[in-house]
Amino acid sequence: MINLLVVGTIAYDSIETPFGKVEDVLGGSALHFTNAASFFADVGIVATVGRDFDLAAIGFLSERSVDIKGISIDEGRTFRWEGRYGYDLNQAVTLKTELNVIEQFKPKVPDEYLGADFIFLANIDPELQSHVIDQLKRPATVVLDTMNFWIENKFSALIEVIKRVDMLVVNESELREITKEYSLVKGAKKIMELGPTCIVVKRGEYGVLMASQDELFLAPAYPLEEVFDPTGAGDTFAGGFMGYLANVGSVSQDTIKQAIVMGSVMASFNVEDFGINRIKRLEYNEIRERYKAFKKCLHFGDIEFR
């Protein structure tokens, strides 16, 4: 029985960083998300792939209680993305996007997924995100991601779906673009006026800021010596974040903060190798160890005042 549902993309990515180059490696928001979340929750994926997709290559997910029957194999080629990073790995330059099967994607949630208490709507057309919410039959915690393309091209559909979700997880540049506020705190407040009660702002190598009605929370990113490939770090963060929430089964302020830390831990692994490779070979014990190391980097004891 799955407790976490993700609707998003599965892709073949071609990536160039200062450290190397790969072609047609597994990627896409739903896959990065699931790869991370599967350490904590029973995940169901809704996504589309083309006839060219090698399903055996994601067989390893079944060993982690991932249900892939929501992946529909459609006529055409799998979605492809090609991008390049310079030394400043915060910004990808998109070289090519081939939508392929994505163009006709109309997500259908299998009945057995409708009982999930946690739903992640990864970055796809906001109209399709609303279409997923339409299919839900019981209350669930729905978390939304998006990207600049939809902000610029489907703004009103995006605002409509934002009104229907519980949390928004976006990059700081996306929050600024949606709200026209430079201040993240002010921007988060504007989004909360629309409905969501919690805004999680991803700041790449600088970590995460969370704003809710009563609280602000800051988590830096784990300080790695080398970042190899940041592709999918945001979705991996979301996977750790929501996997943790689904596992605990609650969304208290404390749980949300802990989930953000877990998301940050998972993202720190993702960037250590191309595509999904690092988290594919990750062991649960490594998560525990990195969390300990991370926590050590954040500890400073108590300041004495006169």
The footprint of its own copies (CB under 8 A) covers 87-88, 182-186, 203, 206-207, 209, 215-220, 223-227, 244, 248, 254, 257-258, 260-262, 284, 287-288, 291, 296-306
The pair of three-digit structure tokens given for residue 243, joined into one six-digit string: 């996997």
User: Residue 134 or residue 225: which is nearer to its own copies going by CB?
Assistant: 225
Q: Which residue type sits at 255?
A: T
Q: Least distance from C-beta 257 to its own copies, angstroms?
A: 4
* 8 A C-beta contact, residue 134 and residue 107: no
Phi, psi of 193 (to 5 degrees): -65, -25
Q: Quick one: how far is CA 153 from the chain centroid?
A: 21
- When the beta carbons of 51 and 288 are compared against its own copies, the nearer one is 288
Per-residue DSSP letters for 58-126? GGGGGGGT-B-TTEEEESSPPPEEEEEE-SSTT-EEEEEEE-GGGGG------GGGTT-SEEEE-SS-H
DSSP-derived 3-state class of residue 51? coil
Question: Minimum distance from CB of 213 to its own copies (Å)?
Answer: 14
Between 63 and 225, CB nearer to its own copies: 225
CB of 301 to its own copies, least distance (A): 5
The span from the CA of 271 to the CA of 273, in Å, is: 6
Distance CA 3, CA 5 (A): 7
Q: Shortest gap between Cβ of 162 and its own copies (angstroms)?
A: 21
Residue closer to its own copies, measured from CB, 11 or 221: 221
Give min distance, CB of 151 to its own copies, in A. Answer: 17
Phi and psi (nearest 5°) for 202? -85, 130
- Least separation in angstroms between residue 227's CB and its own copies is 7
Give 292: exposed, middle or buried? Use CB within 10 Å, 0-12, 13-18, 19+.
Answer: exposed
Smallest distance from the beta carbon of 61 to its own copies, in angstroms?
19
Which one, 75 or 304, has the nearer CB to its own copies? 304
Nearest to 294 by CA among 258, 264, 274, 260: 264
In terms of CB distance, is 281 or 288 closer to its own copies? Answer: 288
Nearer to its own copies, 149 or 182 (CB): 182
